[in-house]
Amino acid sequence: MSLASLRFHSVKRRVAAADTAALHFGMSARLRVTVWNENVHERRNPIVAKIYPKGMHSCIADALMIDNNVEVRTATLHDPEHGLTEKVLEQTDVLTWWGHVAHGEVADAIVDRAIKRIWQGMGFIALHSSHYSKIFKRLMGTSCSLTWREAGEKERVWVCNPAHPIARGINRYFEIENSEMYGEPFAIPAPDEIVFISWFEGGDVFRSGCTWKRGNGKIFYFAPGHEMYPIFFNPNVQLVLRNAVRWAAPDAARWIDSCPQIPISEACEPLEQKGPRMHKEGEEGYR
Ligand code: ZN
């Protein structure tokens, strides 16, 4: 075989491998989304109950299911294990999260479980007051505090990058007639990308759509979604949610976190021990 044809064959093999990866997640397989909601305000506050009689999670799930390639399940705080069993998370490609009054009631074991899956590649969409959720704060490593005001003022959500997949279909900006103001400073680590910046009628601005990567997992924070206004019925908000879960879809390969000691005898090159050691051969590292 000539050098040129050898090169052609190896390129062909790489293309075939890439096709398989794409088929595995994006193209033919349906994206599995779990919509999580603490579902407390809907049960306690008559205004919220009237807007979302079946809970905010139902409204978000309905919005996502407009996309035929997405299958959605919902989970709430009061379900056993908050609805996030090992099995559910195992079968989840993207997890969306809405929490507010009951952040502290989310069990740490479930937070650990979700974060482990995010590191492996599960997408995570934090909505509105979830900036203060245990999961989001752990992922960010900062306080995630912000300024806020509940005046029912107008919010204008500006697109910062028209080419970003999460902003697809939004023309320059969209408006939410009544919103809660979330303003700067927003105590987050610098985002990988700022997709949206919001302007509020009272003059404040806020980085309202931001992305990060943690481990193998793609993370998107989206600020609109105050419980006292019907924001999750807004067609543009729904479009952003559909775009966001698509964007956050995992890559084909899962990164399983482990920390193995590679024995000297299994080094790639012949190797002899040259110094004293703390650990015995085969021993696990400290955690
Ligand atoms: Zn709110």
User: What is the distance in A from the centroid of ligand 1 to the CA of 149?
Assistant: 9
Exposed/middle/buried for residue 56 (C-beta within 10 Å: 0-12, 13-18, 19+) = buried
Q: What's the CA-to-centroid distance between 85 and ligand 1, angstroms? A: 27
DSSP category for residue 274: -
Cα angle value 10/11/15 (rounded, 5°): 120
pTM to 2 decimals? Answer: 0.88
**Per-residue model confidence as pLDDT tens digits over 123-179:** 999 999 999 999 999 999 999 999 999 999 999 999 999 999 999 999 999 999 999
Residue reference for tokens 């989970």: 75
CA of 182 to the centre of ligand 1 (A): 9
Which has more pLDDT, 19 or 25?
25
Compute the distance from residue 226 Cα to the ligand 1 centre, in Å. 4
Q: Determine the distance separating the centroid of ligand 1 and the alpha carbon of 129, expressed in angstroms.
A: 6
- Let me know if domain 13-146+188-198+206-247 sits in CATH 2.60.40.2240: no
Q: Looking at the predicted structure, is the pLDDT value of residue 23 above 80?
A: no
- Distance from the CA of 180 to the center of ligand 1, in angstroms? 6
Q: Report the chain's mean pLDDT, rounded to a whole number.
A: 91
pLDDT recorded at residue 167: 98
Angle at which helix 56-64 crosses helix 235-247, to 10 degrees, equals 70
Q: Output the six-digit token pair for 275.
A: 């110094």
Q: What is the pLDDT of residue 287?
A: 81
Helical H segments across 27-106, by residue range? 41-44, 46-51, 56-64, 86-90
pLDDT at 61: 98
Q: What is the mean pLDDT of residues 52-78?
A: 98
> In the chain, where are the structural domains located?
13-146+188-198+206-247
Distance from the alpha carbon of residue 2 to the mean position of ligand 1, in angstroms = 66
Q: How far is the CA of 39 from the centre of ligand 1 (A)?
A: 13
